[in-house]
Structures are given as structure tokens and as C-alpha cells.
Amino acid sequence: MVEVLSSNSFFGTPRENFVSGLNWTPLETFKARDHAGWDVTIPSADFRKIDQNIIGEVIEFLNRIEGRPFFGEDCTGLVERAFGKRRLFADSPTASLIGFGMRVGDPALMLLRTDAKFDPETEELIRADLLRALPDPKADWDDPNGRLWIKRALLALAIVALPIALKSLFRRRPRGSG
């Protein structure tokens, strides 16, 4: 049985969000969840800087993979880590426009080789002509990304909220008669 490795979404269990977001899903279950959408498989060798030696390394890595919390590694980060920490996806143009200086890998923006060829339906579905023309990314695979900023914001919020909550708790305590 073929299984699909996926990274969890924000709506996973606490364990998936804070310990390991890995999910091994049988392919048929994955396809059934697709809600009548489309799916295509892009061979690994059609991504930039990926060859058969790297694909062998990926297989070895996936046989011993350790999960990371979803809040620390999204789906594109997981795939890029599996492929030897190589960039396989361009950054989201929307996140770039916002201008926070963070990297948000976009799974729809695959960094394809310029010579990658697909059947006509796949070419159209993935808009391969645009993907082949994407510029090489400037950021490394693990440069600060949205997940890093989310973790920092949650930590800052906790640091600020704790003293406020404690102060509020002590103010509401009934004072002894005296």
C-alpha cells in the first residue's frame, strides 16, 4: 500500500501541532479527501538541483524521519528538509508583498527544471510554463519563515499575558477582614 507523508494543518491535535505534525495517510484515503479535485504527481527529478543520487538519499531519510511540530515546520519545510535542505518551492508572492521579511514557501510554486516536460493536461493544471520561469530563490530553505514569527509572537504574548493575569488574579482576591 502506498502512503502519503503530509504535514498537519493548524487544526490538528495538540500533539501534532507541538510535538510531531507528521501524518502517514494511505493514498486512497488522501485521494478521497480531495473533494473531487485534481491531483498530479511531479517526479522529483523534475525539480531544480535534484538528481537520482539525491532521490536515493531522500528515500533513506524518509525511512528514518523524525517529526517536528507543525508550528515549527510546515509542509514545504518538511519536503525541503527531506530533500537534503534544498529549496524546492518559491516564496509566496503575497507574503513578499506584505513585506515582513519572512519566507513562506508556496507548495503551488514548485521550482521546476527549465527542461521539465509533462503531458498536456499536467502542463496546464500546474501552469508549468510559469513554474519553469520562476527565478531561483535568494533565501535558504530554513531562513526565517512565518512559523518562526508565529512562535515568537506566541512566546511574547505569553510573557506579556502571564504578569497581567497574575496581577488581575491578585486584585480580585477577597481581602481578609482586619
pLDDT mean by block of 10 residues, the chain; 178 residues: 46 68 73 68 93 92 79 78 91 72 79 96 93 86 64 82 84 63
Residue 150 lies in a domain: yes
Residue 20 lies in a domain: yes
Number of domains in the chain: 1
User: 3-class SS at 76?
Assistant: helix
Residue 178 lies in a domain: no
Q: Say what the pLDDT of residue 175 is.
A: 62
Residue 177 lies in a domain: no
Is the pTM for the entire model greater than 0.75? no
Going from the C-alpha of 105 to that of each of 8, 12, 90, 110, the distances in angstroms are 15, 20, 6, 9
Domain, as residue range, for 112: 3-172
Packing angle, helices 75-82 and 52-62, rounded to 10: 110
